[in-house]
Amino acid sequence: MYNNHVKVEGETGLVRDNNSGAILNVNHSELENARKRKALRRQQNEDINNLKTEVSDIKKMLIQIIEKLDG
């Protein structure tokens, strides 16, 4: 599978691609965990952005209510 790769000395799960010189992580459980962490961060950012939008909408509504009460 990794015919064109050399193990990185002192590191398990890492190989160097002989063509590009890139270091590749071949530890599948680490890769899956990294994907899960990335998906969680993405979801958290989306949740935060949704909350920001909702708070902004609430502020606008409160301003409208105050303007109607004062008007």
pTM above 0.85, yes or no: no
Residue range 5-13: average pLDDT?
Answer: 87
Left, alpha or beta for 48 (phi > 0: left; psi -120 to 50: alpha)?
A: alpha
Contact indicator for 25, 31 with CB cutoff of 8 Å: yes
pLDDT 10s digits, 12-71: 889 999 889 899 988 999 999 999 999 999 999 999 999 999 999 999 999 999 999 997
Residue ranges covered by each domain of the chain? 5-70
